[in-house]
Amino acid sequence: MNFRTLSVLSICGVVFCGCATNHIEKRRVERLDAYTALSSEMRSYVDQGKIKVGMNRDAVYIAWGKPDDITYSENQEGSTEIWYYYSTYMQPHQYWSYRSTWVDDHEEIYPYMETDYTSERFLRGKLKFKDDILIEWSTHPRP
């Protein structure tokens, strides 16, 4: 392998590795003060992209990222904030269709199974905060 080929491959490797930057690392740098203020146990969870009851909003944000939706509620016990995370999957839909072909001097029509896909959104996770602290969370499987 000549020097030029090796140089091009090295540059491509750096570019592709740069594109795969860890999202948690970006959020950690973005909220570095909040991250360094966490206990070592909470930092360990955050570094793995995990959450735990007792974490503050910043720790959850670093671990899971920005929520897709936020709602607020209040009752006699106080105010709560709920974060929603959504995801999508491709849902197949099958149906019968028909093809035609010419055989000899006549058209023959025959059925076949066709599949189309639609993008479906579903609730992946729901997190509840009270006074900036995660008090409850749940994840939901893909339907």
User: Would you state the pLDDT for residue 70?
Assistant: 98
Model pLDDT, residue 1: 52
Q: What is the pLDDT of residue 10?
A: 52
pLDDT of residue 14: 47
What does the domain layout of the chain look like in residue ranges? 3-139
Determine the pLDDT at residue 117.
Answer: 95
State the pLDDT at residue 13: 52
Tokens coding 22 = 């860890």
How far is the C-alpha of 128 from the C-alpha of 55, rounded, in Å? 11
pLDDT computed for residue 76 by the predictor: 93
Name the stretches of the chain with pLDDT < 50.
2-3, 5-9, 12, 14-21
Distances from the Cα of 96 to the Cαs of 30, 38, 45, 107, 109, in angstroms?
52, 57, 49, 19, 13
Contacting residues for 30 by C-beta, under 8 A, at least 6 apart: 62
